[in-house]
């Protein structure tokens, strides 16, 4: 069972995320991870409970940081003095710039690695699939509703936006073509803005 958050636990977790983002998780034991970040596997078990619980927390951490950007944009647009729709495109471009940065790409690589293991039936990773889609839909759908899209289409648009974003991030990791993926993401944003006007 994982321990409550403390400063020591948070610092240890930061080191875990940094190491896994660079080196991945395939075949890694807690003993090896502990040695790599200057602690013991016993301390990792003490703070996080198990390897599966630790890795699930890493994925939730990476996803939560990215989802917070979407939620912040949705909150901005819900204000009475919210900017015009053009601001949506501006924020989306800024989010893509962050998501496609070298530091974030390392975290995305880790995300795809662990999701791949979950899809292959790895029992330690399989729980990650539970939160893979649903938590992302409402923040994105709320932005679409703010643009005048009905609730059913807004939710469909949210699922599409999530799929396109993750697909282009996978494209970027596979090809390294930042310019082409950025243009594709920009084009997708233009298509959504276009549908929002009708």
Is residue 56 situated within a structural domain? no
Range of the domain at 38: 1-49
We report the CATH number of the domain holding residue 35 as: 1.10.10
Q: CA nearest 97: which of 69, 73, 122?
A: 69
Structure confidence at residue 118 (pLDDT): 87
The total number of structural domains in the chain stands at 2
Cα–Cα dist 45/53, whole Å: 9
The upper half-sphere exposure of residue 70, i.e. CA atoms within 13 Å in the direction of its Cβ, equals 21
- Read off the pLDDT of residues 121-137 as tens digits, 9 standing for 90 and up: 988 778 888 888 998 89
pTM score of the predicted model: 0.76
Identify the three-state secondary structure at position 20: helix
Claim to verify: residue 99 and residue 180 sit in the same structural domain: yes
Q: CA nearest 68: which of 149, 140, 169?
A: 140
Whether residue 89 contacts residue 193, with contact meaning beta carbons closer than 8 Å, is answered with: yes
Residue position matching structure tokens 């890694």: 28
- Read off the pLDDT of residues 136-170 as tens digits, 9 standing for 90 and up: 898 889 888 888 899 999 999 999 999 999 999 99
Is residue 13 situated within a structural domain? yes
We report the CATH number of the domain holding residue 185 as: 1.10.357
């Amino acid at each position: 069972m994982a321990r409550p958050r403390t400063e020591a636990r948070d610092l240890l977790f930061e080191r875990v995320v940094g190491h896994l983002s660079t080196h991945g998780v395939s075949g890694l034991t807690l003993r090896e991870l502990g040695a790599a970040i200057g602690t013991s596997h016993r301390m990792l078990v003490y703070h996080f409970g198990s390897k599966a619980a630790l890795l699930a927390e890493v994925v939730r951490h990476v996803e939560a940081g990215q989802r917070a950007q979407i939620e912040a944009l949705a909150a901005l647009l819900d204000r009475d003095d919210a900017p015009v729709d053009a601001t949506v495109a501006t924020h989306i471009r800024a989010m893509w710039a962050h998501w496609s940065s070298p530091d974030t790409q390392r975290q995305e690589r880790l995300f795809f690695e662990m999701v791949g293991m979950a899809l292959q039936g790895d029992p330690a990773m399989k729980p990650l699939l539970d939160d893979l889609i649903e938590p992302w839909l409402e923040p994105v759908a709320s932005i679409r509703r703010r643009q005048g899209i009905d609730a059913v289409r807004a939710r469909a648009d949210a699922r599409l936006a999530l799929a396109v974003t993750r697909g282009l991030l996978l494209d970027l990791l596979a090809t390294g073509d930042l310019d082409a993926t950025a243009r594709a993401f920009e084009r997708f944003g233009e298509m959504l803005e276009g549908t929002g006007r009708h």
